[in-house]
Every structure is written in C-alpha cells, then in structure tokens.
Amino acid sequence: MASPSTLNFQHICRHWRKFRKLSQLDLALAANVSQRHVSWLETGRSHPSREMIGRLSDAMNIPLRERNILLQAAGYAADYRETQLDAPIMAPVLDALNHILQHHAPLPAFIVDRYWNVKKANQAAELLLNIGGNPQALQETMGTDGGLNLALLTVHPEGLRQYITNWAQILPSIIRRLRSESLASGNRAIQDQFAQYIELAAPEGYSEPDSASLLPVLPLELNIKGLELSLFSIIATFGTPQDITTDELRIETFYPTDTKTEQFFRNYNFENSV
C-alpha cells in the first residue's frame, strides 16, 4: 500500500478511519457530523473545510505531524510548526523539561522523541545507560542515526538487555508498547524502525503469553556486574501540544522498587564521576 502522504485527502481520511478501526458511523458520531457527510468526504463528493479537518483529526486522534499532511492534501497550508528545542519560543518548554530532569535527580529521567531517541537526560539516566558498557559504541555498530536510542539500547542483546534478569517477564510489555506507539503514530518510518526493534527483542516464533497475576507495576530487574537494581518507569506527555516537537516528546522517569536501588542512586557521587 502506498504511503498515505502520497495520496489525496479522501484516501488519507479513509486510511486513518480504518487504521483506527472506526466505521463511518463511528467517525461521524465522534466528529459530530452526519454519516453521509463522512461518506461524501471519503469519495471526494464534498471538500472539507479546515475546521472539519480539525474535527476529524481530533476524532481519530491523529498526531500533529500527520494532521499537516491531511491539511496539505486538502489544499490548505500546514497548521503546525516543528520548532527546535533551543529556539527562543521554546524557552518555557525547555525550562520545564530541564526542571523535570533536575528535580528528579538523583533518579534517572529521559526526554525522548517519537523514535525513542534520547533528546535530554539527567546524570542518573546517563549513569544507567553507561554503567554496563558504552552505548555510543553500540549505536555506531548498529549504524543508527539520531543519537542514543532508548528502545535499541534496551532490546539489543549487547545493550541493557544482557543485564535484565527478568527479561522474559518484561518482554511482552516492551513489545506491546513498541507496537502500540508504532500504530498510534500512523507513520511508516516509525513502524519499520520499531518492527526491527521487535525482531531484535523477540525470539523466532514468539507468541505473547497469557497474563499471569499482575503486580501494580512491572519492575525492570537489572544485575550489572554484580550491581542489582530494580526500577519502574512513568511516562508523561504534554497536555496541550500545539507544536510538532512538543506533541512528539515523551518524558520517562524511573523510580526504585526497593531500598537498595534507591540508596545506590542517592549515595552515588555524581560530582566525582564527571
């Protein structure tokens, strides 16, 4: 199937509706329009207004980057900018991100983009990635662009994965998250990249096991050259993004599940490690 970005508005709209597993009636109800109007938009009998594209995009939870594609396919200028984090207009956003990273110290925190490329990290996060080896060397070996990639460094056999003692337990969760974010993006490049990560993570013939008794959170259990750590993470996003950059950023903060892990990070001398 051709990429939606190469097709016209009606093809892209139909693609997203089917992608979100919505009937025309479902979409009509969510966007507060008639089913007939949705049908006419998808056949080209009606041309959408800019306001209608916004309502349809909201109803189908289309990311801002892909909304621009939908607008341009209908003959409108793109609504959403993609601004570099160091641009003056992004100063409040950058300040907030830096505040989160600093405030979370001495525990690990990362800022990642939609590809899971690490855009910013605090010292504890850098320690977590580097304590078992050289993540930069692994990235160079894999020939990947975009800097350190948290997904790749987690699932690669020579990355953090080799130190994860409960790998079989957390593997289904990792695969579900990669698949979910891949599908939610609606972007072929992300889907292809995450499919490679899933292939790296899962053994041939892998099938997701039945759910066992569930803990409140699933910990990441690590044994790095005798150092045992146990962590879980919380993922946060911007509540009202109006820029592609803020729409696509994810904040992942890690917390200890036991006293030993908390004491390791709180007692670690970050100043002398620099």
Give the tens place of pLDDT for each residue, 106-145: 999 999 999 999 999 999 999 998 887 777 777 776 656 6
Q: What pLDDT does residue 210 have?
A: 59
Q: What pLDDT does residue 142 have?
A: 66
Q: How far apart are CA 138 and CA 105, in angstroms?
A: 26
pTM here?
0.84
Structure tokens at 142: 């894999």
Where is mean pLDDT largest: 92-101, 137-146, 178-187, 216-225? 92-101
**Cα–Cα nearest to 42, from 61, 63, 67, 25:** 25
Q: How far apart are CA 254 and CA 256, in angstroms?
A: 7
Average pLDDT over residues 89-106: 96
Whether the per-residue pLDDT at 38 is higher than 70: the answer is: yes
Q: What pLDDT does residue 35 have?
A: 95
Name the residue with tokens 């070996």.
Answer: 141
Q: What pLDDT does residue 90 have?
A: 95
Percent of the chain past pLDDT 90, that is, above it, reads 64
Query: What confidence tens digit (pLDDT) does each residue in 166-176 have?
Result: 998 999 889 98
Calculate ∠ Cα 49-70-94, nearest 5°: 110
Query: What confidence tens digit (pLDDT) does each residue in 219-255 have?
Result: 999 999 899 999 999 999 998 899 999 999 999 999 9
Model confidence at 105, in pLDDT bands (50, 70, 90)? very high
Contact (Cβ atoms closer than 8 angstroms) between residue 108 and residue 125: yes
Whether the per-residue pLDDT at 213 is higher than 70: the answer is: no
Model confidence at 184, in pLDDT bands (50, 70, 90)? confident
